[in-house]
Structure 1
């Protein structure tokens, strides 16, 4: 088991006063997959006139807030202590790639965790036949699906370059595929678009990544902000399993899951409606450190 203290800070500066605003926050880690919250605090400035907690369709913790007073800045700070216990799974014991595709096609469960919601398009990502053909080079139909997914994550890590500043929220998977570079969001969207074209359920996972790795291990890419990876459905027995194409690895105890969805559009840390003029300035930082002495 590993314990972490995590601090997330999100700040906006607006060029003109915002009269009022409605926001949805998706920043609190989920208590699922070996994760357990020990304590959490959320500070918002200006203080909301209304604040309500309600999970969304996919089971993500959401804070709905309404700010009435005029403001030109918004500051959000989340502090959590969380325990993670996620033993390494036996990848070879998962069903084959072909079996998972058949099981997903036959699924009828309408719940938010069902694979049926992660086979088609979302708000930002649709299945891509071109990327699907690229992924099939690594997806032997008779291979255990988890082993195939890890090989695929490692291939994306090897063939695509992590580079900040070359993409935005509007960057398409086709552009990422052509440029062979981007950040964790781009690589996750690309992997999802290709897997869905292959009939394999894949969903976008948003969360935190250990900032400083244990001694002797390399620092992972994407640890200074909220991170993204991919969860793939591996059948009813094991369920969803995480794979990180940015770092070419399994989602392990280094990864803390906050939200899942069809793509980034379902899991944005902050979403909402406000009226102002001119471009906004945005700051976003994450500190995640292991708690050596949990007292």
Structure 2
């Protein structure tokens, strides 16, 4: 079991005044998947005239915000204390790959966590035959799904290079497969597209990842960032299990889940509608601090 104090800071600077704006935030840690939210605050400037919170179709908390005064900047700060109890499951005892494929195909559940919603296309990612062929290498029908997915995540980690700034939100999975480089979003989309092409339900997970400072050095304030990984449906008993292709590991107690969807478009931290002119500047910073650990400013 691990406990963290988490702070997320998001800021926008606009080239001119924004008269009014509507935003949808998906930045609150989930109260599910082995997590307990012990404390949560949300501070938005300018102060919104209207706010409302609800759960979306996939069970994610969404905060709806209306700001109706002219503003040149937007500041959002989320603070939370989260307890995570997500030990490594017995991956070797999970159902076989072919069994999961058959169960997913036969499912008639229509709720947000149903595997049916994670077999087809989202707004950004669709099943890809080329990526499916890549993911199928070494995948055996009688292999436990948990072991198979951990092996695939480790393979992506070893064969692709993490490189920021070379991709965008619109980069396609085939392009990532060819270039063999990108960031966590690209590797997660790649794994999702391949698994869905093989008939295996896969979801995009967004959240926070604990990062380790160099040995002997304190953690730097604002050094972390939001992260993405993949959750794979392991049957009605085991449910969804997370795997991180960027780091080649099980998504355990170092991962704090914020939102789950078909791809990034379902879980973007901030969406909305506003009118301004010219390019806007954006920044975000994350502190994910284990309880009792010091931070250097």
TM-score (norm 2): 0.95
Q: How does 1:66-105 map to 2 (within 5 A)?
A: 66-105=66-105
Give the whole-Å Cα distance in 2 for the aligned partners of 1:214 and 1:254: 17
Tell me which residue corresponds to 1:212.
Answer: 212
How many residues are treated as equivalent by the alignment? 288
Tell me which residue corresponds to 2:185.
Answer: 185
Find the residue that maps to 1:62 and give its secondary structure.
Answer: strand
Find the residue that maps to 1:236 and give its secondary structure.
Answer: coil
CA RMSD of aligned residues (A): 1.5
Tell me which residue corresponds to 1:174.
Answer: 174
The one-character-per-residue Cα deviations of 1:21-54 (angstroms, maximum 9, x if unpaired) are: 0000000000111100110111000000000000
How far 1:214 sits from its partner (Å)?
11
Task: Flag structure 1 segments of 5+ consecutive residues without an equivalent.
Answer: none
Tell me which residue corresponds to 2:267.
Answer: 267
Give the whole-Å Cα distance in 1 for the aligned partners of 2:88 and 2:250: 9
Find the residue that maps to 1:286 and give its secondary structure.
Answer: strand
Tell me which residue corresponds to 1:38.
Answer: 38
Give the whole-Å Cα distance in 1 for the aligned partners of 2:17 and 2:164: 31
Q: How does 1:136-147 map to 2 (within 5 A)?
A: 136-147=136-147
2:235 is aligned with 1:235: yes
Task: Flag structure 2 segments of 5+ consecutive residues without an equivalent.
Answer: none
8 Å Cα contact 1:4-1:82 kept in structure 2: yes
How far 1:241 sits from its partner (Å)?
0.1
8 Å Cα contact 1:211-1:287 kept in structure 2: no
Q: How does 1:132-171 map to 2 (within 5 A)?
A: 132-171=132-171
The one-character-per-residue Cα deviations of 1:234-259 (angstroms, maximum 9, x if unpaired) are: 00000000000000000010000000
Comparing 149-158 with 33-42, greater Cα deviation is found at 33-42
Give the whole-Å Cα distance in 2 for the aligned partners of 1:238 and 1:190: 24
Give the whole-Å Cα distance in 1 for the aligned partners of 2:274 and 2:60: 23
8 Å Cα contact 1:206-1:227 kept in structure 2: yes
The one-character-per-residue Cα deviations of 1:152-187 (angstroms, maximum 9, x if unpaired) are: 000000000000010111111111111000000000
Greater than 4 Å deviation, 4+ residue runs: 213-216
Give the whole-Å Cα distance in 1 for the aligned partners of 2:276 and 2:33: 40
The one-character-per-residue Cα deviations of 1:88-138 (angstroms, maximum 9, x if unpaired) are: 100011100111000000001000000000000000000000000111103
